[in-house]
């Protein structure tokens, strides 16, 4: 009886235990299920319909059978893997309730938002992968408290902020934070995570130096800091504690100093990338001891010396790059003896010489060869014919010669062949068409002849570049059908002829067509199928419209090209009108250029619909009508050229709404009215050409355009004075206001614009003098002030214009001496003609200048008096005695009254004063002429009226007469004799200055010798 009772008790106990366990398991399952359903509720995008159809509570299956869910022995979720399902949404915080979770993989989805802090409750988590999403916010600091973590990947997101404290992650093996926007320093505490094997921080914004503590991580195998802003030195002991290091990538930073010689201790190193830094010194020879090394990238640094020959010992090397390193000298031949090499990149250096002739024997594994942008010579292709694995050959921008051998057609692996920019010649062999080339570039050589049709049958071609050669012939009519993968077609600057094949529209993947500078003829084909075309460049041909003087229907075919960014049609014979459909071109269009195409009619207002347009160039056509106001809708436009047309009417003020407008060309039209004042407020303007129109009124306030560098308002009907605010044009280089009706003075403030290179005020009504301040324009190369009413002299300050090449002040009223310093020694008479009062050297075809009276020092006067005082006294005494005797003899016949009067007031008068007093010795002031010269009336600066007798120095008798008259010095003056005020004398000019006697005979007073004066010859 006891035994059955015992059994019943056991059964009851087991039943109770089973019920309790089942209830607890059901409770736990419900908790995990709720967490997943909460997670599902935040999913906004499930394109594969995975969670919507599978994660459901309506069926009999448990949560452990849901896609991506793994459970443990206790029916608890231990792993959640939803990688690569393209899920979108945010992470629900309740995901942190999956407390048994050890692995979480949400990579390769489209999750956004922040990572919730509640994930810190996942204490059993070992692996977390949130890579390749769109998470934002700071790097989740909650991860620092999950102490069991071994693998953390947050790569390829948009995390910001600094790297949080990860010191507690003592078991961490792999840390991937690459491709984010993390900034700040690398925490030195990372160096305390002794278990770390892989540290990947590439493509962030990290700054500062690399913490030395990291170089103590003895288990570290991969260390990648590529593309940050790290600086400083690499510790000399870099490899002292890195016995297992296999990969080091520090490229694209700002690291400096030498590469530590100790790098040779990293004997396990297979990948070393230090390119694009600021490393200096020599390349350590010890790198040649890294026998396991497969990839070596050292380019774009500041190394000195040659590539060490020890690198030739790297028998396992597969990739070697030292591009952009300013290497000179011969091509290092030992590089081409490393038989394991698959890729060699020596591009962008200054290496010379030719390739070793046995390269094909020593490099049987060569797949990629980059030698472009050097100075290499010789015939290259024949050397490489036996490199059977070569699929990329980049040789552009060298000096290679020779032809393309037919045997190239046997290099069956070749996919990319770049020969651009060499000195190769000959015809293109048809055998080249046997290859499955993807990119063929033979431009900028000297190839000639017709291009074999087989080239246009390479259906794998993505890029075909034949430009800048001497090719002739026509394009195959079916080329568009046989090149279905073609994206880039470059045929510019050759002599191709015939029509552009209509079939080209069937090459529907084309994004760039460049056919400029050929001899293509016929109408432009229909491009409507080229929906991916971005650039259509076909200027400088003989292409036409469909019919003369009709709308150019070609533009309508481009309406389907919604990616079109550049349309270049210039210098063709389109000979038609722009249709209104031009406004339906791609809203992506940035440049529309149709210069010199004989386009007629008006500019359609619909052109204002091209909202992305930056450049509109329609100059040198036959456009008529007015400038449409709708141009003001082109908010992105920076350049507008409508010059050399027949446009009329006023300049629309709507142009002032284009806030980015930098250059405006409206010259050589028939525009009238005033210049819009609002242009003076368009601060973006850099170049304004409004010349050769019929613009009137005064110049609006353009002087506040402080950044404008070219302003041409010439050949209009503008009037008024030139404002002194012109000095505000601080950036102006070319300023032309010529052939207008400007008046007044040239503002002296212009002398402060030291950026000026060319300046023209010619053909106006400007008056006054040439400002001295122009001498401050030290960069001035051309100065034209001709055909004005300028007076005064040419400032000598202009001699300081050391850059002046062109100078013209002709047809003015300038006077005085032409400067002879600086570039004035190089100018000709044309620069000064029609200025009647200029003087200078005979080569300028002006009179020679007269030596001016110069005041001598008192010491010279004293010395002079010593020599002439006695003779003067004797002469005066003799004259007085003679007069007394004559007086005594004739006293009985006639009484003569002589009045001794004081000396005539004597003064010094310069040549310039005489020139000004007589108005350049003008004919109006002429009083007469005699056998020895002419007499002019004048008024000195103090109002004294004078007569100036100018001797003709070409007559020897006139010179002698002047000298004789100057020999007699007397203090006697009679009331009927003319008083001499001064004289002016040098080798080129001689004149007497006398008091003007308005009544009486000039002959009596000026050509009689019965008078005396005091004169000082200079």
What is residue 565's DSSP assignment? -
* 345 vs 352: CA distance, rounded Å: 15
Q: What angle do CA 969, 970, 974 make, to 5 degrees?
A: 140
Contacts 24+ apart (CB under 8 A), 140-143: 140/114, 140/115, 140/164, 141/117, 141/165, 142/115, 142/116, 142/117, 142/118, 143/119, 143/169
CA atoms in the 13 A half-sphere facing the CB of 738: 16
Beta bridge pairs of residue 474: 497
Q: How many residues does the chain have?
A: 1018
Nearest C-alpha neighbor of 128 from the set 164, 99, 103: 103
Q: Report the SS3 class of residue 457.
A: helix
- Tokens 């007031």 appear where? 905
* 805 vs 759: CA distance, rounded Å: 12
Nearest C-alpha neighbor of 411 from the set 425, 393, 424: 393
Q: Please, are residues 741 and 716 in contact by the beta-carbon 8 Å criterion?
A: no
Q: Which two tokens stand for residue 154?
A: 């947050």
By DSSP bridging, strand 734-736 and strand 710-712 are: parallel
Nearest C-alpha neighbor of 426 from the set 454, 407, 445: 445
Q: Is 949 annotated as a binding residue?
A: no
* 916 vs 942: CA distance, rounded Å: 12
Integer-rounded Cα Rg, in Å, for the chain is 47
- Burial track 765-779 (b if 16+ CB lie within 10 A, e otherwise): ebeeebbebbbbbee
Measured over the CA atoms of residue 842, residue 844, residue 846 and residue 851, the dihedral's sign is negative
Q: Which two tokens stand for residue 332?
A: 């290092």
* 247 vs 225: CA distance, rounded Å: 11
Residues in contact with 412: Cβ distance below 8 Å, sequence separation at least 6, in sequence order: 388, 435, 436
Q: Which two tokens stand for residue 93?
A: 């915080």
* 467 vs 480: CA distance, rounded Å: 18
* 712 vs 734: CA distance, rounded Å: 8
Q: What is the 3-state secondary structure (H, E, C) of 568-634?
A: ECCCCECCCECCHHHHHCCCCCCEEECCCCCCEECCCHHHHHCCCCCEEECCCCEECCCCCHHHHHC
Taking CA atoms, 460 is separated from 490, 505, 533, in Å, by 16, 17, 19
Residues in contact with 426: Cβ distance below 8 Å, sequence separation at least 6, in sequence order: 402, 403, 404, 447, 448
Q: Please, are residues 393 and 416 in contact by the beta-carbon 8 Å criterion?
A: yes
By DSSP bridging, strand 945-951 and strand 933-939 are: antiparallel
Taking CA atoms, 188 is separated from 164, 193, 616, 625, 807, in Å, by 11, 10, 56, 72, 69
Contacts 24+ apart (CB under 8 A), 61-64: 62/29, 63/29, 63/32, 63/33, 63/36
Q: What is the 3-state secondary structure (H, E, C) of 946-972?
A: EEEEEECCCCHHHHHHHHHHHHCECCC
- Tokens 């992105």 appear where? 636
- Detail the residues annotated as belonging to a binding site for ATP: 960
Q: Which residues are annotated as a binding site?
A: 960
């Amino acid at each position: 009886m006891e035994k059955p009772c015992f059994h019943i008790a056991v059964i009851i106990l087991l039943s109770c235990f089973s019920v309790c366990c089942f209830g607890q398991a059901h409770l736990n399952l419900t908790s995990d299920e709720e967490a997943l359903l909460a997670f599902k509720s935040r999913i906004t995008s499930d394109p594969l319909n995975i969670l919507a159809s599978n994660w459901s509570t309506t069926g009999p299956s448990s949560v452990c059978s849901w896609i991506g869910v793994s459970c443990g022995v206790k029916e608890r979720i231990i792993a959640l893997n939803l990688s690569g399902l393209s899920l979108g949404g945010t992470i629900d915080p309740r995901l942190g309730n999956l407390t048994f979770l050890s692995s979480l993989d949400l990579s390769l989805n489209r999750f956004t938002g922040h990572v919730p802090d509640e994930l810190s409750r996942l204490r059993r988590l070992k692996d977390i992968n949130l890579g390749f999403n769109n998470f934002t916010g700071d790097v989740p600091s909650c991860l620092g408290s999950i102490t069991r973590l071994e693998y953390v990947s947050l790569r390829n997101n948009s995390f910001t902020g600094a790297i949080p404290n990860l010191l507690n992650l003592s078991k961490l093996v792999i840390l991937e934070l690459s491709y984010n926007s993390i900034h700040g320093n690398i925490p030195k505490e990372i160096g305390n995570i002794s278990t770390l094997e892989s540290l990947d921080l590439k493509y962030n914004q990290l700054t500062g130096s690399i913490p030395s503590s990291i170089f103590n991580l003895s288990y570290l195998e991969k260390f990648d800091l590529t593309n940050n802003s790290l600086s400083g030195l690499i510790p000399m002991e870099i490899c002292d504690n890195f016995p297992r290091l296999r990969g080091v990538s520090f490229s694209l930073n700002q690291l400096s100093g030498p590469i530590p010689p100790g790098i040779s201790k990293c004997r396990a190193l297979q990948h070393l990338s230090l390119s694009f830094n600021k490393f200096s010194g020599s390349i350590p020879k010890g790198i040649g001891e890294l026998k396991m090394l497969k990839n070596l990238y050292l380019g774009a640094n500041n190394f000195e010396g040659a590539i060490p020959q020890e690198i030739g010992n790297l028998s396992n090397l597969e990739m070697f790059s030292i591009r952009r390193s300013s290497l000179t000298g011969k091509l290092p031949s030992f590089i081409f003896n490393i038989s394991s090499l698959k890729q060699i990149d020596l591009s962008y250096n200054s290496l010379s010489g030719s390739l070793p002739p046995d390269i094909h024997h020593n490099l049987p594994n060569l797949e990629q060869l980059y030698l472009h942008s050097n100075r290499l010579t010789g015939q290259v292709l024949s050397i490489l014919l036996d490199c059977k694995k070569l699929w990329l050959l980049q040789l552009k921008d060298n000096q290679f010669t020779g032809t393309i051998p037919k045997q190239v057609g046997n290099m069956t692996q070749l996919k990319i062949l770049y020969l651009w920019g060499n000195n190769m010649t000959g015809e293109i062999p048809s055998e080249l068409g046997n290859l499955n080339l993807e990119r063929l570039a033979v431009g900028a050589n000297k190839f000639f002849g017709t291009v074999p049709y087989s080239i246009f049958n390479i259906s794998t071609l993505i890029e075909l570049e034949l430009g800048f050669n001497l090719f002739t012939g026509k394009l195959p009519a079916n080329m568009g059908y046989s090149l279905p993968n073609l994206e880039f077609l470059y045929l510019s600057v050759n002599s191709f002829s015939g029509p552009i094949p209509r079939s080209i529209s069937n090459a529907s993947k084309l994004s760039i067509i460049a056919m400029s500078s050929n001899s293509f003829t016929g109408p432009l084909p229909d491009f409507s199928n080229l929906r991916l075309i971005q650039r259509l460049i076909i200027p400088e041909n003989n292409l036409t419209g469909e019919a003369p003087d009709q709308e150019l229907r070609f533009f309508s075919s481009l309406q389907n090209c919604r990616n079109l960014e550049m349309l270049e049609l210039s210098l063709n014979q389109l000979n038609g009108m722009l249709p209104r459909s031009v406004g339906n071109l791609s809203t992506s269009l940035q440049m529309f250029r149709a210069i010199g195409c004989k386009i007629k009619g008006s500019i359609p207002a619909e052109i204002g619909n091209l909202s992305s347009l930056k450049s509109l160039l329609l100059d040198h056509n036959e456009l008529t009508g007015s400038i449409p106001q709708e141009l003001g809708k082109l908010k992105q436009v920076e350049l507008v050229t409508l010059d050399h047309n027949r446009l009329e009417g006023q300049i629309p003020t709507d142009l002032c709404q284009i806030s980015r407008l930098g250059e405006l060309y409206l010259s050589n039209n028939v525009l009238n009215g005033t210049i819009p004042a609002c242009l003076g407020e368009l601060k973006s303007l850099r170049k304004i050409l409004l010349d050769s129109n019929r613009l009137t009124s005064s110049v609006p306030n353009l002087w506040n355009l402080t950044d404008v560098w070219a302003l041409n308002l010439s050949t209009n009907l503008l009037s008024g004075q030139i404002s002194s605010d012109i000095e505000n044009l601080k950036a102006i280089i070319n300023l032309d206001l010529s052939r207008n009706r400007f008046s007044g003075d040239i503002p002296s403030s212009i002398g402060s614009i030291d950026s000026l290179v060319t300046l023209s005020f010619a053909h106006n009504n400007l008056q006054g003098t040439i400002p001295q301040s122009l001498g401050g324009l030290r960069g001035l190369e051309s100065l034209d002030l001709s055909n004005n009413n300028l007076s005064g002299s040419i400032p000598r300050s202009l001699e300081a214009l050391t850059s002046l090449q062109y100078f013209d002040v002709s047809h003015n009223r300038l006077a005085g001496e032409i400067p002879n310093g600086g570039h004035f020694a190089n100018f000709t008479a044309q620069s000064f003609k029609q200025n009647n009062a200029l003087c200078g050297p005979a080569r300028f075809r002006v009179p020679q200048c007269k030596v001016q009276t110069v005041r001598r020092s008192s010491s010279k006067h004293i010395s002079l008096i010593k020599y002439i005082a006695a003779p003067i006294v004797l002469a005066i005494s003799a004259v007085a005695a003679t007069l007394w005797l004559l007086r005594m003899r004739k006293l009985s016949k006639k009484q003569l009254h002589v009045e001794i009067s004081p000396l005539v007031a004597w003064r010094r008068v310069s040549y310039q004063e005489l020139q000004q007093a007589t108005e350049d010795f003008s004919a109006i002031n002429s009083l007469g002429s005699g056998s020895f010269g002419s007499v002019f009336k004048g008024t000195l600066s103090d109002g004294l009226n004078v007569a100036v007798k100018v001797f003709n120095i070409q007559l020897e008798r006139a010179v002698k007469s002047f000298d004789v008259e100057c020999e007699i010095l007397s203090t006697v003056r009679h009331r009927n004799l003319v008083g001499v005020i001064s004289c002016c004398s040098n080798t080129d000019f001689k004149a007497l200055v006398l008091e003007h006697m308005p009544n009486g005979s000039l002959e009596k007073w000026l050509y009689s010798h019965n008078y005396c004066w005091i004169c000082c010859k200079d």
